[in-house]
């Protein structure tokens, strides 16, 4: 497992190289293929050789083969005429920024997993399992929005390096709208359809507490997604101090608040502080980062890229709340819910074209590698 983890760190470096070169489709193909072979196809041989050792050996072999293929691809993309060699000056030139990013990643890992750690200490393993299901549902908004945020980072970095304030502002607003639309529409779907989603995952009717926790964590997932653009705007400008300071404070205060809340109020007491932390982070990062690197556009960002996508999603998706109670089969209910969520995204797409005229061809080229 340790060796496999080391290889996956190297995989992340090469994937980052492809994203930086705007080869998003190639990077996505590697990531999808790696995940399918590593965690999907392995089920076939595991059926005949049900061994934990075999599972880890398979994952290690897949990581090594993917790494070799990916390394060959990235060197073709870079196309450097010189033989690569280690450079201490190159390392020294980025050590401060790399150290800041390492600190952010470490703090983020602590803040992301602290709620489950607290729940595991306060409650039984069965309760932790139920909370983990709710947490997985709550992560859907941020998981769906994350690919958009990763895609735009190289573009933001290039515009910041060139001093292109106009282009930086335009890109920031456009992708903030996209991320908000995806996150809010999925969150609205979770809030409305949590009973059907949980019934499908659990194989039975969920408790009202579990439904409520899933809805609360879904809101937290949307607030986490809203932070992506301010965070990446700061990273594009090589600014890590604000993220580290807020993350470090959260890493100290959040486990204490969750432990107290879980001890006094149960699972809801563990979930609410995590959501409150994400709400605070979204407001603080936006209030500090946006004016610092874009100027006086915070009100425009809040209204145009947060409030409008949310209101549009609510108006389009909310009617499904009157339909789902009449649908008894969870899978059918989820399909109906997905249709309404897709309609909410489509409505936001139309709104996007009205707000950002002439920007869709640029989005297609930068995100999907499609010309025209």
Span 251-274, pLDDT tens digits: 888 888 888 888 888 888 888 888
The CA distance from 363 to 370, in Å, is 9
pLDDT lower than 70: segments of the chain? 80-81, 111, 357-372
Q: Report the pLDDT value the prediction gives residue 81, as an integer from 0 to 100.
A: 66
Q: Report the pLDDT value the prediction gives residue 186, as an integer from 0 to 100.
A: 94
Residue among 26, 370, 372, 338 at smallest CA distance from 186: 338
Q: Report the pLDDT value the prediction gives residue 364, as an integer from 0 to 100.
A: 54
Q: How confident is the model over 125-155, as pLDDT tens digits?
A: 778 888 888 888 888 898 888 888 878 888 8
H helices present in the chain, as ranges: 2-20, 24-36, 43-48, 52-78, 88-122, 125-138, 140-162, 165-202, 208-226, 228-236, 241-265, 267-294, 298-302, 308-317, 330-355, 360-368
pTM for the predicted model, two decimal places: 0.77
The CA distance from 364 to 372, in Å, is 8
Q: Report the pLDDT value the prediction gives residue 372, as an integer from 0 to 100.
A: 39
The CA distance from 62 to 59, in Å, is 5
Q: Report the pLDDT value the prediction gives residue 370, as an integer from 0 to 100.
A: 45
């Amino acid at each position: 497992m340790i060796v496999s983890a080391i290889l996956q760190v190297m995989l992340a470096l090469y994937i980052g190289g492809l994203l930086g070169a705007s080869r998003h489709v190639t990077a996505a193909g590697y990531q999808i293929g790696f995940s399918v072979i590593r965690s999907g196809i392995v089920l076939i041989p595991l059926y005949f050789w049900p061994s934990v050792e075999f599972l880890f050996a398979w994952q290690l072999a897949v990581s090594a083969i993917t790494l070799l293929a990916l390394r060959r691809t990235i060197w073709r993309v870079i196309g450097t005429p010189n033989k690569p060699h280690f450079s201490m000056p190159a390392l020294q030139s980025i050590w401060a920024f790399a150290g800041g990013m390492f600190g952010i990643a470490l703090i983020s890992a602590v803040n992301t997993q602290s709620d489950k750690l607290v729940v595991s200490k306060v409650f039984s393993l069965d309760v932790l399992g139920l909370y983990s299901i709710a947490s997985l549902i709550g992560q859907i908004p941020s998981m769906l929005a994350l690919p958009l945020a990763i895609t735009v980072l190289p573009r933001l970095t290039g515009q910041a390096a060139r001093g292109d304030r106009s282009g930086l502002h335009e890109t920031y607003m456009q992708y903030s709208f996209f991320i908000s639309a995806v996150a809010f529409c999925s969150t609205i779907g979770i809030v409305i359809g949590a009973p059907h989603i949980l019934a499908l995952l659990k194989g039975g009717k969920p408790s009202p507490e579990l439904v409520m926790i899933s809805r609360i964590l879904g809101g937290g997932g949307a607030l986490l997604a809203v932070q992506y653009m301010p965070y990446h705007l700061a990273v594009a400008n090589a600014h890590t101090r604000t993220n580290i300071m807020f993350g470090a404070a959260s890493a100290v205060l959040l486990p204490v608040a969750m432990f107290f809340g879980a001890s006094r109020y149960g699972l809801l007491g563990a979930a609410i502080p995590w959501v409150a932390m994400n709400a605070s982070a979204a407001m603080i990062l936006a209030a500090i980062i946006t004016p610092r690197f874009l100027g006086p556009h915070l009100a425009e960002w809040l209204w145009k890229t947060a409030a409008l996508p949310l209101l549009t999603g609510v108006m389009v998706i909310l009617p499904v709340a009157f339909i789902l109670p009449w649908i008894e089969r969870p899978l059918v209910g989820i399909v109906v819910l997905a249709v309404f969520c897709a309609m909410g995204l489509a409505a936001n797409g139309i709104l996007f074209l009205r707000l950002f005229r002439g920007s869709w061809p640029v989005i297609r080229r930068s995100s999907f590698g499609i010309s025209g």
